[in-house]
């Protein structure tokens, strides 16, 4: 386990929308370099960059045409290496986005794979042996290539699935996972990883990490074996490099070799019920919703088994949001969001802050889809640095040229305004992250324990190491007799939102309040 992950707080940058320095309306690497001090000032000491490799951008860069080449619109390979170097000088680590499940249909490997004559890449992707048959229930394309076969898709039509073999062979065109061609796929991905690690990147966020072997068993052991093999390479040659999975099953992902696994917004899971439960019948029951929110039980019932079953292997990553999920502003208001973030940044594991969430950027429901974003486009609009500057200071381009239109509402948030407002989300984000860095007990590996959570009540009291924390998202103050807190000796308040303190023999948490005691 790379030691730096223990105190890591990530900032996710969607490069298209962060900072444009060449006035083409799209963010670039130079723009990220320019804002490193800003990222550092938030307390983030690590960055995850969404894919910035050569691509036809039919899925915003998750359709990679060349894994080893930075897309021109962002800069050059040299610029990316300069970003690694400048970030390292400031104590910031950089994770790249690795997309191992598929490439773009324009990748050279795929073009060769489509050829009728057999070659080195014929089995790099999953093909049937006839252009007229389906592909074992998976999405596929037939009739597009000279080759007589259908190929499997991993996501959109532009993303053919790379071939890692299948566990139980049922069709004659399927290959076993230990077939030399499937091993070659794995080694090709390792080669890509080495390429960037040798240039100075600090690891990878791995796209659809669970998707490699198609007919796998329930615990995805064949896919897991590939990651265990890849992790062995890291342990041997790049022990400081981190691997974070998009899997949302830490019990599997961490055992197979990932250092951290994202807690994603899967419908009804623990993360979802905290802040995005708005699609449930009868209104929004998100835990952090002041009115109508549920108690913490639904979250705990989902989270605790995940945490207990994975804490000896690595970390769970809470996210404020990401480039695929609606920004939390869609469902929660500012005071609800502050409590949610105070909670996320005091939980075990490695937290991720999505660009713009620190200033309460809104989910833009009405923007037209861009590069395969569809409903996700609303969370990908350009960063709002300063409302008094052209395009909020994101770009000097004319506004029609912007990658995605920006928030046009009169009260659209901006960084400049958030800086000068003492009640902004920004100040909560900075202060809670600073607290996390100050107290080891708030960091990734310090234990988590529920102290008080009762059916029908909104309050949650929990411990991290020797610290006591309490959150009350409801609109009513709550008093808990100290005798119910089971021999807790913490009483010195070190951080608070709203009103939270011990008064005589009671813990008193005001409406929408949060406290940390040592």
Q: Tell whether residue 14 is a contact of ligand NOJ (CB under 6 A).
A: no
User: Which is closer to ligand NOJ, CB of 48 or CB of 303?
Assistant: 48
Closest residue to ligand NOJ, Cβ-based?
A: 62
Tell the smallest beta-carbon distance from residue 324 to ligand NOJ (Å).
5
Tell the smallest beta-carbon distance from residue 262 to ligand NOJ (Å).
9
- How far apart are the C-alpha atoms of 259 and 2, rounded to whole Å? 8
Q: Is 8 exposed, middle or buried (0-12, 13-18, 19+ CB in 10 A)?
A: buried
CA separation, residue 43 to residues 10, 111, 444, 474 (Å): 9, 44, 15, 28
Dig out the tokens for 398 from the structure.
Answer: 């004319």
Tell the smallest beta-carbon distance from residue 276 to ligand NOJ (Å).
16
User: Which is closer to ligand NOJ, CB of 155 or CB of 392?
Assistant: 155
Dig out the tokens for 498 from the structure.
Answer: 């709203």
User: Which is closer to ligand NOJ, CB of 110 or CB of 439?
Assistant: 110
Tell the smallest beta-carbon distance from residue 58 to ligand NOJ (Å).
10
DSSP reduced 3-state for 307: helix
Tell the smallest beta-carbon distance from residue 162 to ligand NOJ (Å).
12
Pairing of strands 493-497, 460-464: unpaired
User: Which is closer to ligand NOJ, CB of 367 or CB of 426?
Assistant: 367
User: Which is closer to ligand NOJ, CB of 158 or CB of 426?
Assistant: 158
Total count of residues recorded for the chain: 518
Q: Which residues of 163-196 are buried (b: 16+ CB within 10 A; e: fewer)?
A: bbbbbeeeeebbbebebebbeebbeebbebbeeb
Tell the smallest beta-carbon distance from residue 43 to ligand NOJ (Å).
25
Tell the smallest beta-carbon distance from residue 433 to ligand NOJ (Å).
24
Tell the smallest beta-carbon distance from residue 155 to ligand NOJ (Å).
4
Q: Tell whether residue 110 is a contact of ligand NOJ (CB under 6 A).
A: no
- 78: Cβ contacts below 8 Å, ≥ 6 apart: none
DSSP reduced 3-state for 30: helix
Judged by CB under 6 A, the chain residues 155 through 174 that form the site for ligand NOJ are 155
Binding ligand NOJ (rule: CB under 6 A), the pick from 13, 94, 99, 500 is 99
Tell the smallest beta-carbon distance from residue 323 to ligand NOJ (Å).
6
User: Which is closer to ligand NOJ, CB of 404 or CB of 468?
Assistant: 404
User: Which is closer to ligand NOJ, CB of 102 or CB of 311?
Assistant: 102
Tell the smallest beta-carbon distance from residue 99 to ligand NOJ (Å).
6
Binding ligand NOJ (rule: CB under 6 A), the pick from 12, 20, 54, 59 is 59
Q: Tell whether residue 263 is a contact of ligand NOJ (CB under 6 A).
A: no
User: Which is closer to ligand NOJ, CB of 155 or CB of 318?
Assistant: 155
User: Which is closer to ligand NOJ, CB of 185 or CB of 512?
Assistant: 185
From first CA to last CA, the distance across the chain in angstroms is 28
The dihedral through the CA atoms of 439, 444, 445, 449 has a sign that is positive
- Asked if 476 and 429 count as a contact pair (C-beta separation under 8 A), the reply is no
Q: How many residues line the site for ligand NOJ (CB under 6 A)? A: 9
Torsion of CA 79, 85, 86, 89, to 10 degrees: 180
Q: Tell whether residue 371 is a contact of ligand NOJ (CB under 6 A).
A: no
Torsion of CA 31, 208, 316, 215, to 10 degrees: -170
Q: Tell whether residue 324 is a contact of ligand NOJ (CB under 6 A).
A: yes
User: Which is closer to ligand NOJ, CB of 284 or CB of 371?
Assistant: 371
Judged by CB under 6 A, the chain residues 178 through 217 that form the site for ligand NOJ are 207-208
User: Which is closer to ligand NOJ, CB of 377 or CB of 512?
Assistant: 377
The dihedral through the CA atoms of 173, 174, 180, 184 has a sign that is positive
Tell the smallest beta-carbon distance from residue 245 to ligand NOJ (Å).
11
Binding ligand NOJ (rule: CB under 6 A), the pick from 11, 18, 57, 62 is 62
- How far apart are the C-alpha atoms of 57 and 75, rounded to whole Å? 15
- How far apart are the C-alpha atoms of 198 and 77, rounded to whole Å? 13
* Gyration radius of the chain's alpha carbons: 24
- How far apart are the C-alpha atoms of 182 and 24, rounded to whole Å? 41
- Asked if 460 and 441 count as a contact pair (C-beta separation under 8 A), the reply is no
CA separation, residue 57 to residues 26, 119, 199, 248, 484 (Å): 13, 27, 24, 26, 56
User: Which is closer to ligand NOJ, CB of 62 or CB of 345?
Assistant: 62
User: Which is closer to ligand NOJ, CB of 64 or CB of 432?
Assistant: 64
Dig out the tokens for 434 from the structure.
Answer: 């600073």
Q: What is the 3-state secondary structure (H, E, C) of 393-443?
A: HCCCCCHHHCCCCCCCCCCCCCHHHHHHCCCCHHHHHHHHHHHHHHCHHHC
Q: Tell whether residue 352 is a contact of ligand NOJ (CB under 6 A).
A: no
Tell the smallest beta-carbon distance from residue 333 to ligand NOJ (Å).
27
- Cα–chain center distance at 21: 25
Q: Tell whether residue 441 is a contact of ligand NOJ (CB under 6 A).
A: no
Tell the smallest beta-carbon distance from residue 67 to ligand NOJ (Å).
13
Which residues make up the interface to ligand NOJ (CB under 6 A)?
A: 59, 62, 99, 155, 207-208, 246, 323-324
């Amino acid at each position: 386990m790379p030691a730096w992950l223990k105190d890591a707080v990530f900032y996710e940058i969607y490069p298209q929308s962060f900072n444009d320095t060449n006035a083409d309306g799209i963010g670039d690497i130079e723009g990220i370099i320019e804002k490193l001090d800003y990222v550092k000032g938030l307390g983030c000491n690590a960055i995850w960059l969404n894919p910035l490799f050569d691509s036809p951008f039919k899925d915003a860069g998750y359709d990679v045409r060349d894994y080893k080449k930075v897309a021109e619109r962002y800069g050059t390979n040299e610029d990316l290496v300069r970003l690694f170097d400048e970030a390292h000088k400031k104590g910031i680590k950089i994770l790249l986005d690795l997309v191992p499940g598929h490439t773009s249909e324009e990748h050279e490997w795929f073009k060769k794979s489509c050829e009728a004559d057999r070659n080195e890449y014929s089995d790099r992707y999953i093909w049937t042996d006839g252009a007229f048959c389906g592909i074992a229930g998976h999405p596929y394309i037939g009739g597009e290539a000279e080759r007589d076969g259908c190929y499997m898709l991993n996501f959109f039509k532009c993303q053919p699935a790379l071939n890692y073999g299948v566990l139980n062979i049922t069709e004659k065109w399927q290959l076993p996972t230990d077939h030399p061609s499937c091993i070659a796929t794995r080694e090709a991905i390792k080669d890509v990883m080495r390429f960037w690690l040798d240039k100075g990147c600090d690891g990878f966020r791995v796209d659809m990490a669970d998707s490699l072997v198609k007919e796998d068993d329930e615990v995805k052991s064949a896919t897991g074996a590939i990651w265990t093999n890849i992790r062995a390479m890291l342990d041997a040659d790049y022990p400081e490099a981190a691997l974070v999975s998009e899997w949302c099953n830490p019990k599997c992902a961490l055992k197979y070799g990932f250092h951290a696994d994202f807690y994603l917004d899967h419908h009804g899971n623990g993360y979802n019920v905290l802040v995005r439960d708005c699609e449930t019948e009868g209104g929004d029951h998100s835990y952090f919703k002041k009115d109508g929110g549920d108690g913490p039980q639904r979250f705990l019932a989902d989270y605790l088994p995940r945490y207990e079953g994975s804490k000896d292997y690595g970390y769970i990553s809470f996210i404020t949001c990401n480039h695929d999920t609606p920004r939390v502003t869609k469902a929660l208001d500012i005071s609800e969001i502050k409590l949610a973030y105070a909670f996320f940044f005091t939980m075990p594991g490695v937290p991720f802050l999505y660009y713009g969430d620190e200033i309460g950027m809104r989910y833009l429901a009405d923007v037209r889809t861009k590069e395969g974003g569809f409903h996700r486009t609303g969370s990908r609009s350009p960063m709002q640095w300063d409302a008094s500057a052209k395009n909020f200071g994101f770009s000097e381009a004319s506004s029609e040229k912007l990658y995605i239109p920006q928030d046009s509402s009169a009260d659209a948030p901006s960084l400049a305004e958030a800086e000068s407002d003492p009640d902004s989300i920004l100040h909560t984000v900075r202060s809670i992250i600073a607290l996390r860095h100050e107290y080891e007990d708030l960091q990734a590996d310090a234990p988590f324990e529920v102290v008080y959570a009762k059916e029908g009540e909104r309050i949650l009291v929990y411990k991290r190491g020797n610290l006591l924390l309490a959150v009350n998202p409801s609109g009513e103050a709550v008093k808990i007799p100290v005798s119910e807190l089971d021999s807790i000796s913490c009483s010195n308040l070190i951080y608070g939102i709203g009103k939270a303190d011990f008064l005589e023999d009671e813990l008193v948490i005001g409406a929408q309040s949060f406290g940390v005691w040592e």
